[in-house]
Structure 1
Amino acid sequence: MKLAVVGGGSTYTPELVDGFARLRDTLPVSELVLVDPAAGRLNLVGGLARRIFAKQGHAGRVITTSDLDAGIDGADAVLLQLRVGGQAARNEDETWPLECGCVGQETTGAGGLAKALRTVPVVLDIAERVRRGNPDAWIIDFTNPVGIVTRALLSHGHKAVGLCNVAIGFQRRFAALLGVTPEEVSLDHVGLNHLTWERAVRVNGEDMLPQLLGKHLTDIADDLHLPADVVQQLGVVPSYYLRYYYQHDAVVQELLHKPSRAAEVAALEKELLDMYADPQLDEKPALLEKRGGAYYSEAAVALASSLLNDTGDVQVVNTLNNGTFSFLADDAVIEVPATVNAQGAQPAAVSPLEPLYAGLVAHVTAYEDLALQAAVHGGADRVFRALLAHPLVGQISIAQELTDKLLAHNKAYLPWAR
Structure 2
Amino acid sequence: MKLTIIGGGGFRVPQIFTAISDPTAPARVDELCLHDVSAERLSAIRGVLDALAKRSPRPPRVTYTTDMDAAVTAADFVFSAMRVGGLEGRIADERVALDLGVLGQETVGPGGLSYALRTLPVARDLARRIAALAPDAWVINFTNPAGIVTEAMRTELGDRVVGICDTPIGLMRRAVHAAGGDAASVTFDYVGLNHLGWLRSITVDGAERLPDLLADDTALAGIEEARLMGFDWVRSLGALPNEYLFYYYFQREATARIRESTQTRGEFLLAQQADFYRDAAAMPVSALDAWERTKFEREASYMAESRPESERTSREASDIEGGGYQAVALALMAALTGSGTSTMILNVANRGAIPELPPDAVVELPCTVDADGIHPHSVAPVTGDMLGLMQSVKAAEQLTITASANRDAALAWRAFAVHPLVDSVATAKLLLERYREAIPGVDAALRT
Same fold per TM (> 0.5)?
A: yes
SS at match of 1:351: coil
Amino acid in structure 2 at the alignment position of 1:100: L
271, 281, 285: which one pairs with 2:292?
285
Aligned to 1:257: 260
Paired with 2:328 and 2:23, the residues of 1 have a C-alpha distance of: 11
Q: 2:274 aligned with 1:267, yes or no?
A: no
Residue 436 (structure 2) pairs with residue 407 (structure 1): yes
State the shift of 1:196 in Å.
0.4
CA-CA distance at 1:91 after TM superposition: 0.4
Q: Deviations over 1:282-314 (max 9, x none)?
A: 687254144359612101111222223374422
The more displaced of 405-414 and 364-373 is: 405-414
What CA distance in whole angstroms lies between the structure 2 residues aligned with 1:147 and 1:337? 15
1:324-378 C-alpha deviation (Å, 9 max, x unpaired): 0111111011101012234542311111113221111111111111011122222
Taking the TM superposition and a 5 Å limit, the aligned residue runs for 1:273-312 are 273=277, 274=279, 277-279=283-285, 285=292, 287-292=294-299, 295-309=324-338, 311-312=340-341
1:247 aligns with 2:254: no
Q: Is 1:107–1:113's contact at 8 Å kept on the other side of the alignment?
A: yes
Gaps of 5+ in 2: 303-319
Where does 1:156-195 land on structure 2 (aligned, <5 Å)? 156-158=156-158, 159-178=160-179, 180-182=181-183, 184-195=185-196
**In the alignment, which residue of structure 2 is the partner of 1:196?**
197
Alignment-mate amino acid for residue 255 of structure 2: V
Residue 43 of structure 1 pairs with residue 43 of structure 2: yes
Q: CA deviation at 1:216?
A: 2.5
Identity of aligned residues (%): 34
Bigger CA drift: 24-33 or 87-96? 24-33
Instruction: Tell me the CA shift for residue 237 of structure 1.
Output: 0.9
What is the rounded CA distance, in whole Å, between the counterparts of 1:34 and 1:129 in structure 2? Answer: 16
Q: Tell me which amino acid in the other structure corresponds to 2:295.
A: L
TM-score by length of 2: 0.87
2:418 matches 1:389: yes
Which residue, 337, 342, 346 being the options, matches 1:317?
Answer: 346
Q: Which amino acid aligns with 1:255?
A: I
Aligned pairs for 1:14-413 within 5 A: 14-22=14-22, 24-158=24-158, 159-178=160-179, 180-182=181-183, 184-213=185-214, 214=216, 215-220=218-223, 225-258=228-261, 259-273=263-277, 274=279, 277-279=283-285, 285=292, 287-292=294-299, 295-309=324-338, 311-413=340-442
Paired amino acid for 1:165: D
Distance 1:187 1:246 in 2: 23
Q: What is the Cα-based RMSD across aligned positions, in Å?
A: 2.3
Tell me which moved more, 71-80 or 165-174.
165-174
Contact 1:11–1:272 (CA under 8 A) maintained in structure 2: no
Cα distance in 2 between the residues matched to 1:238 and 1:185:
18
SS of the residue 2:15 aligns to? helix
In structure 2, do the counterparts of structure 1 residues 413 and 381 end up closer, same or farther at CA, with 3 Å as the change threshold? closer
Q: Give the letter aligned to residue 230 of structure 1.
A: W
Q: Secondary structure at the match of 2:54?
A: helix
2:15 is equivalent to residue 12 of structure 1: no
Deviations 1:59-79 (A, max 9, x none): 420111111111111110000
Give the 3 Å change call, closer, same or farther, for CA 138–414 of structure 1 in structure 2: farther
Contact 2:85-2:441 at 8 Å conserved across structures = no
Report deviation, 1:184: 4.5
Length-normalised TM-score, structure 1 = 0.93
Give, in whole Å, the separation in 1 of the partners of 2:252 and 2:153. 34
Q: 1:219 & 1:268 partners in 2: Cα distance? A: 29
Alignment deviations for residues 125-172 of structure 1 (CA, whole Å, 9 cap, x no partner)? 111111111110111100000100010011334420011111211122
